[in-house]
Amino acid sequence: MRIDDLTRTYVRVALDHPLPTLFDYRCDAALLPAPGMLVSVPFGKRHVVGLIAEVTAHSEVPPDRLKSVAGVCAACPPLSGHWLQLAQFAADYYQRGIGEVALPALPQALRDAARWARLLAPEEHYRLLPAGRAALPDALPARASALRRLAAALAAVESLPAADARALHPKAIATLEAWQAEGWVALDVIDSAAPLRSQHHAAQNSTLPTLTDEQTAAFEAIRDAQGFAPFLLHGVTGSGKTEVYLRALAALLAANPQAQALVLVPEINLTPQFEAAFRARFASMDDTAIITLHSGLAEGERARNWFAAHTGRARIVLGTRLAVLASLPHLSIIVVDEEHDPAYKQQEGLRYSARDLAVWRAKQLGVPVVLGSATPSLESWWQVEQGRYKRLTLSRRAVADAALPSVRLIDLEDERRRGRASVEGLSGPLIAALKTRLERGEQSLVFLNRRGYAPQLACDACGWVAGCPRCSAYVVLHKPERALRCHHCGWESRIPRSCPECGNVDIAPLGRGTQRVEEALASAVPGARVLRIDADSTRRKGSAQALFSDVHAGEIDILVGTQMIAKGHDFRRVSLVGVLNADTALFSHDFRASERLFAQLMQVSGRAGRAGLPGEVLVQTRYARHALYHALACHDYIGFANSTLAERRDAHLPPFVYQAMLRAEGRTLDASLTFLQQAAGALADIPAAARVTVYDAVPLTIVKVMHVHRAQLLVESASRAALQATLRAWQPALRTIKGVLRWSIEVDPLDI
C-alpha cells in the first residue's frame, strides 16, 4: 500500500440530479468525511453541493475517472443517520433519487459553497428609527441619488442586511454609521451561534383555560403515549384542538429538556395565529426556541431557522409542509393540524404528502403523532377503523355557549319558481341575513371558490369566448386589474373593447368570481364595509396578514373570499357564513371532489358562531336534496365518512387500493398518448405488474398548458408492495422511451 492511499478515502455523494444513483469522489481523509456532511464537488464543468451518503475504502469507478471533493462544510454539523434514512425512504417511496429529496430540503444558503464561510457569522442589520423616518430623505442633498436609494431601501423593509446595503453603494456602511450617530438608524446583530438566553419568565398558569373533559382525555392520552403512537384528533370546528396541542407539547417539552416538537399547518397564513398562541403559552422559552419554517421567509431567516432546528436550539418548529423534512435531532412529537388539507401534498418536483411523511417519521423515531381535523381524510379515518390509529374525539365547541352553527339550504330552483329577486347571484334570503348582521354589528363571511371577476368573457352575437393562446383554457376577467388572465400559465392581456371575431361591442362577463361578488355586495348591502381576501388581493408579502387583522379588529362587516378564508382562522365575531356556487364540485369526475367539498364546507361553516354568538350558515344550491348537503346540515361527518368509504370500497377506490399516476408532457397530444401507450406496453415485462391494473392513457381536462400537451396513465393495485416494485422496475424502461418533453410519476395522486 502506498502512503498516498492512507490519506485517501472515498465518499459516495447524493446530488440533486435526476439519475437515482450516488456519485463517487476521492476525499482527503484529513477532511474527516462522514455521512451527512455537505461537500462541494466538481460535476461536469461546475462545482455543486452534495451530501455524503457513505464513506468507503474502495470505489468501483476507475481511478482516472474519479475526481476529488473540493471542500466540506465545516460550519454545518452532519445530518443524522435518521434524517438520511428519512430522505432515502421518501426517495424510494416517491420514485426519486435521494439527492432530489435531500438537497432541495436544505436552505438555499447551504447549497452554495461560496456562502459557507459566512453561514454562522453574526449578521448585521440596519433598521430605520422613527427619527430617521421623519428626517430622511429630506435631509439629503437633492442630487445624492445613491443616498436616496439607500434611504428608500431602508424605509421599504423592516431591517436591511448589511450585505444588501453594501450592494447598493460601496460607501453605504459609512453612511449608515453616520446616520446611526444621528440617531436615525439602529444596528442589530443577529448571532445564530450565540448561547441561548436563560429561561427567566415563570409559566403563566393562571391564564390557562380549564380543559373540557374531552380535551383532558385527549391531552392525557397523548401525554401518556409510549413509543410510536398515531392519534387522530377528530374535533369539531372550535372544539379547542389547538389547546390540546399546546398542553401535549408543554408536557413533553417539560419532561425532556432537549425534546423538539414539529407542528405543521396547511397554509402560510395560519402560521402567525399559531405562532402567537405558541409564543404566548411558551413565554418562558427563549425567543429562538420557537421558530417557523415556510416558503414566505426571507432566505437568510429560513437558513437561520433551519439551523436552529438542526442544532437543537429550536424546541418548537412551526411550519408548512416543507418543514416535515427539517432536520430535528431530538424530535419527540409531531402535530399535523387540518390533516385532511390537500395543501399537504406537494404538487411539483418531489410530490410528497407531508402528512404521510410525518407519520413515517414518528414511526421511525418511536414518538407520538397527532393528526387533527374536523373532517379527517378518508385515508386517516380508515386507519382508525382498522385500529391502526387511535381516535380522540372532541364533539363539542370549547367556549361555553358556543354551539355549532345551524345550516340552512337556500333552494335556488325554488327561489326562481317563486319569482323571488336576486342580485348578481346573491339570493333574497342571503341578502336579508347579511343586512340583519350589519344592523347587529356582527360580521359575515361569503365564501366562493373562484377568484377574479368572471371566469369567462363572451360575445353574445357570435359565441366567441376569450381564451388563452398558450393553453386550452378560458381566461379569467380581472376587473380591478383591468386584465384578462390565464390561471394556468399566467398569460395576461388587456380587456378588448369589442369582440375580436365579429366586432360586436356587447361582450359580457359570464359567471362570477370573488371580485364580482365583492362589487355586488357593496350595492346589495349598502353601508357594509366589504373586504375581499383571495390570492389576488394578497399578492404582496405581508398583505394577507394585514387584511386578516382588519377582520379580527372588527373593521370589516362582510368578508368575501376563496378557501383562504375558510381554513382554521379563529374569527370571534362572525355569525353568518354564506356559501355561493358550491354545486359545481358535486358532479366532478374526480372521485375525491365530494370529500374535498364536504371538508371545505364544514371548515367554512366552522368560522361561524365561535365565540358564543349564535352562528348561521346559508348554502345557495340547485340541489337542495343532495346527500352531501344533508350531512352538512346535520354536522354529520361520521355519516358522510362511513357512506363515502362504503362507496369507495364497492368501487375499488382508495384507500382500498393504491394508485400512482404516470404523466407525460409532449409537443402534441399524440406524442404524449403514444409515450403512455408504450409505457403501458413495457409493463408486460415486469413480473410484479401482474398484480397491477393499468388504465387507458387519457388527456388531462385542461390538455394544453403553455403549448405543452398533457396526458396521464393511472396504475393501481390492492398491494402497495406490488405497486412499488412495479414502479421501481418500470423507470429504467421509461427512460428509454423517447418522444415527450417530460414525464413524471406521482405516487398517491390526489387529483385524478
Which of residues 370, 459, 645, 697 is near Zn ion by CB under 5 A?
459
DSSP assigned state of 573: S
Query: Least distance in Å: CB of 241 to ligand ADP?
Result: 4
468 annotated among ligand-binding-site residues: yes
Number of residues located near Zn ion, criterion CB under 5 A: 15
15 vs 236, beta carbon nearer ligand ADP = 236
Query: Least distance in Å: CB of 488 to ligand ADP?
Result: 33
509 vs 609, beta carbon nearer ligand ADP = 609
Which range of residues in 102-110, 401-409, 462-470, 534-542 is near Zn ion by CB under 5 A? 462-470
Residue written as grid cell 396521464 = 712
489 annotated among ligand-binding-site residues: yes
| 472 forms part of the interface with Zn ion (CB under 5 A) | no
Query: Least distance in Å: CB of 276 to ligand ADP?
Result: 12
462 annotated among ligand-binding-site residues: yes
> Closest Cα partner for 560 from 582, 520, 533, 537?
533
Cα separation, 407 vs 615, whole angstroms: 9
Site for Zn ion in 129-158 (CB under 5 A): none
Cα separation, 597 vs 418, whole angstroms: 29
Q: Which residues are at the interface with ligand ADP (CB under 6 A)?
A: 209-212, 215, 235, 237-243, 398-399, 570, 610
From the list Zn ion, ligand ADP, none, pick the one residue 499 interacts with, judged by a Cβ distance below 5 to 8 Å according to partner type.
Zn ion
Q: How are strands ordered across the β-sheet holding 616-621?
A: 406-411, 616-621, 574-579, 443-447, 558-561, 530-533
DSSP structure string for 587-652: G-SSTTHHHHHHHHHHHHHTTTTTTSSPPEEEEEES-TT-HHHHHHHTT-HHHHHHHHHHHHHHTT
Which of residues 146, 217, 251, 461 is near Zn ion by CB under 5 A?
461
| 491 forms part of the interface with Zn ion (CB under 5 A) | yes
32 vs 280, beta carbon nearer ligand ADP = 280
| 22 forms part of the interface with Zn ion (CB under 5 A) | no
Cβ atoms 120, 77 nearer than 8 A: no
- CA atoms within 13 Å, Cβ hemisphere of 77: 14
Query: Least distance in Å: CB of 399 to ligand ADP?
Result: 5
502 annotated among ligand-binding-site residues: yes
377 vs 537, beta carbon nearer ligand ADP = 377
235 vs 266, beta carbon nearer ligand ADP = 235
From the list ligand ADP, Zn ion, none, pick the one residue 237 interacts with, judged by a Cβ distance below 5 to 8 Å according to partner type.
ligand ADP
339 alpha carbon, distance to own chain's centre: 12
From the list Zn ion, ligand ADP, none, pick the one residue 215 interacts with, judged by a Cβ distance below 5 to 8 Å according to partner type.
ligand ADP
Which of residues 358, 489, 671, 725 is near Zn ion by CB under 5 A?
489
CA distances from 96 to 93, 496, 633, 745 (A): 8, 46, 44, 9
Query: Least distance in Å: CB of 218 to ligand ADP?
Result: 11
DSSP assigned state of 35: T
Cα separation, 394 vs 213, whole angstroms: 9
Cell of 11: 465518499
Three-class secondary structure of residue 443 per DSSP: strand
235 vs 511, beta carbon nearer ligand ADP = 235
| 501 forms part of the interface with Zn ion (CB under 5 A) | yes
Residue 298 host element (H or E)? none
| Residue nearest ligand ADP, Cβ-based | 240
413 vs 492, beta carbon nearer Zn ion = 492
Cα separation, 263 vs 332, whole angstroms: 11
From the list Zn ion, ligand ADP, none, pick the one residue 515 interacts with, judged by a Cβ distance below 5 to 8 Å according to partner type.
none
471 annotated among ligand-binding-site residues: yes
270 vs 641, beta carbon nearer ligand ADP = 270
- Cβ-based neighbours of 721, under 8 Å, separated by 6 or more: none
42 vs 503, beta carbon nearer Zn ion = 503
Query: Least distance in Å: CB of 608 to ligand ADP?
Result: 12
DSSP structure string for 467-532: B-SSSSSBPEEETTTTEEE-TTT--EEPPPSS-TTT--S-EEEES--HHHHHHHHHHHSTT--EEE
From the list ligand ADP, Zn ion, none, pick the one residue 398 interacts with, judged by a Cβ distance below 5 to 8 Å according to partner type.
ligand ADP
76 annotated among ligand-binding-site residues: no
From the list ligand ADP, Zn ion, none, pick the one residue 664 interacts with, judged by a Cβ distance below 5 to 8 Å according to partner type.
none
281 vs 709, beta carbon nearer ligand ADP = 281
Cβ atoms 548, 270 nearer than 8 A: no
572 vs 626, beta carbon nearer ligand ADP = 572
Count of helices and strands (H, E) across the chain: 22, 33
Query: Least distance in Å: CB of 498 to Zn ion?
Result: 8
Query: How many CB atoms lie under 10 A from the CB of residue 7?
Result: 11
Rg (CA), the chain: 28
From the list Zn ion, ligand ADP, none, pick the one residue 277 interacts with, judged by a Cβ distance below 5 to 8 Å according to partner type.
none
∠ Cα 346 342 407 (to 5°): 165
Query: Least distance in Å: CB of 539 to Zn ion?
Result: 18
DSSP assigned state of 353: B
Q: What are phi and psi of 443, to 5 degrees?
A: -100, 150
From the list Zn ion, ligand ADP, none, pick the one residue 212 interacts with, judged by a Cβ distance below 5 to 8 Å according to partner type.
ligand ADP
What per-residue string of b and e applies to 252-272 under the rule 16 or more CB within 10 Å gives b? Answer: bbeeeeebbbbbbbbbbbbbb
Residues found near Zn ion in the complex (CB under 5 A)? 459, 461-462, 464, 468, 470-471, 486, 488-489, 491, 499, 501-502, 504
Which residues carry a binding-site annotation for Zn(2+)? Answer: 459, 462, 468, 471, 486, 489, 499, 502
From the annotation, which residues make up the binding site?
Answer: 459, 462, 468, 471, 486, 489, 499, 502
